[in-house]
Structure 1
């Protein structure tokens, strides 16, 4: 197999996402060469990633790269990559909180972190944002377990709980909770809130774009709506300080609507397709907006202040973000190890610069 490059790989589900996990030392250090390998592995250039292990959807075209910590106080580094197989782009601008749920178990089983009795805390440095996140993993007898009674909407069955704790999530990419300096901006006659907490997002009332906010994720197929939402997203990104948001997956657009059995109905876009559930980082951003005076979310839910649980409805059920003074946001997720072995990149896809390395 001289025309193929074998790379050690573990495929894991983290929360409501899935993708390959790599040790940083098993991939090229050069970002361009690394991205070429990832595109080859995931099947770049085809909507379904048919020539790779991409899953044909944004939630299954994600990659986690784990290595020794480069920040004091952290246990491991975690670099997230969103692979846009259709366009052949690897975007490392965002974090992914669902894939984050599997980082702790992966790091322990890879020998990067020593397990402790019953539960092990893994302090993760998210390289994308420079933020630290704590993951608490079930390790009875000093071994990772994936079996348990925790249930999260969007994933069948139950599994061992993994608690993610986001301390001081504000300004993950922009350095400011409200990057524009305002809780509400107006773009082409539409009110939006631009907020950056774990993930930069653009919040907009679903009703202002002709939706109820209770639609299934597959219902957002109208091309005029998608074009309008993308235009709003790009303009919001520019207001937030991103030089070329059209080439990035941030900010993420989120439609909001009142809910009977939750704080809000949410429909989260990645950024062009609606998520079948809800991104953890997006949920932290929306929950933070609920307690930030003047935002669209805060106006919808009324006065709230930490400590408080914020329940967000999404197409597959609900997700609860617990906001505590500090500020700290806590979310419960689950994960599962699915496959371990080698994945192959086509040598013809990889720059010659790494072939001699």
Structure 2
């Protein structure tokens, strides 16, 4: 069967529906798609059911929230991408408008890249523990994936639990060997561990950090939050979304992601509200004790509170915890049991992410050499993934699709 076929009103495109971590999305082989551009973006939006003024994407495969409105494009790596085995591109599809944002990577769906490639024949590996090297085109960064292969496919059964995902699965380790400066000048784009944002008419301290993902970290208390709220409670507060978006856009300019607040990408930077741990109620009704987490985090994604935490955001928080002077480091300074691992309390449970930071020598003005600010040289995260469906997805056909 060909990669593409058409009826009078519909096109059918080879695809797979994949869960990676706490996200789900449509995965496509690069060879099944038109070239990057307007036609490809329209295909993605149509397949997921955007634009949808009702915010539910009922006429597509999306789920009406950012973690369920995503696409991945996976291709074989050529000589120019050596030593990568696969190349992939992440797209965040807006719900209310027909737009696709490629400004950042998705750590959760990154866990599904190798399972998808094995399932569709883009990659073939012998059974057993395997390592696959990826190149993410959104950030130009490399990702090393460690997983187990069984019967030619990614192992599914296991005892590893991802908070927010029912059941357990086989762990997939994502290692980012050079994560700093994914879209900006470095781990601290402004060179400062704390900046002051003023777009809301008052001064709000923020740590602007870019490790695996550009992140704007603010204190929950500065926004009238405890840090233990549910996503629905955050979203329901009148005016808060507007305030957070204003802060996000101001920070984007400071980080060099946009020339003006109006030009800020939709997907990055993301805003995370952090707080000292306290007993908190999860989405499933269970209680997490304060001692089980090092920091509480509530993440905003595409204008809504995230149900868990994006994988790349978790790694960025772990990195921030290793950089002296950031808001995260101030919270966890005397609390973490491990220097490399950070336990993050999210609405769905405690997520653990790791970061490696090394102090590099710095020369002082009088010629002395001292240890400088720690530089993050690696970050890691464990996820699970599963191919939920493979076949062809229906895409509404536009009149322009018939043009030669």
TM-score range, shorter chain: over 0.9
2:198 pairs with 1:165: no
Matched length: 354
Partner of 2:221: 207
Deviations 1:204-230 (A, max 9, x none): 000000000001111112131111111
Deviations 1:153-201 (A, max 9, x none): 1000011111111112100011311111211110120001111000001
What is the alpha-carbon distance in structure 2 between the residues aligned to residue 140 and residue 45 of structure 1?
39
What is the aligned counterpart of 2:51 among 45, 48, 68?
45
What is the alpha-carbon distance in structure 1 between the residues aligned to residue 391 and residue 245 of structure 2?
39
Partner of 1:216: 230
- Higher-Rg structure is 2
What is the alpha-carbon distance in structure 2 between the residues aligned to residue 305 and residue 169 of structure 1?
23
What is the aligned counterpart of 1:14 among 4, 20, 23?
20
What is the alpha-carbon distance in structure 1 between the residues aligned to residue 393 and residue 64 of structure 2?
17
2:109 pairs with 1:99: yes
What is the aligned counterpart of 1:329 among 379, 384, 387?
379
What is the alpha-carbon distance in structure 2 between the residues aligned to residue 91 and residue 263 of structure 1?
32
What is the CA-CA distance between 1:272 and the residue it aligns to? 1.1
2:298 pairs with 1:280: no
SS where residue 125 of structure 1 aligns? strand
What is the CA-CA distance between 1:281 and the residue it aligns to? 0.2
Partner of 2:283: none
Contact 1:306–1:323, Cα closer than 8 Å, also in 2: no
Contact 1:20–1:63, Cα closer than 8 Å, also in 2: yes
What is the CA-CA distance between 1:245 and the residue it aligns to? 4.7
SS where residue 305 of structure 2 aligns? coil
What is the CA-CA distance between 1:148 and the residue it aligns to? 1.3
In the superposition, relative to structure 1, how do residues 276 and 127 fare at CA in structure 2: closer, same or farther (>3 Å)? Answer: same
Partner of 2:4: none
Partner of 1:232: 247
Contact 1:105–1:137, Cα closer than 8 Å, also in 2: no
In the superposition, relative to structure 1, how do residues 306 and 73 fare at CA in structure 2: closer, same or farther (>3 Å)? Answer: farther
What is the aligned counterpart of 1:254 among 272, 278, 289?
272
What is the alpha-carbon distance in structure 1 between the residues aligned to residue 152 and residue 10 of structure 2?
37
What is the alpha-carbon distance in structure 1 between the residues aligned to residue 241 and residue 152 of structure 2?
48
What is the alpha-carbon distance in structure 2 between the residues aligned to residue 82 and residue 57 of structure 1?
11
What is the CA-CA distance between 1:235 and the residue it aligns to? 0.2
Partner of 2:154: 144
Contact 2:218–2:274, Cα closer than 8 Å, also in 1: yes
SS where residue 223 of structure 1 aligns? coil
Gaps of 5+ in 1: none
What is the CA-CA distance between 1:135 and the residue it aligns to? 1.2
What is the CA-CA distance between 1:306 and the residue it aligns to? 8.0
What is the CA-CA distance between 1:284 and the residue it aligns to? 0.7
Deviations 1:109-133 (A, max 9, x none): 2222221331121111111000001
2:163 pairs with 1:113: no
TM-score by length of 1: 0.95
Contact 1:263–1:310, Cα closer than 8 Å, also in 2: yes
Partner of 2:89: 79
What is the alpha-carbon distance in structure 1 between the residues aligned to residue 146 and residue 193 of structure 2?
33
What is the alpha-carbon distance in structure 2 between the residues aligned to residue 245 and residue 271 of structure 1?
15
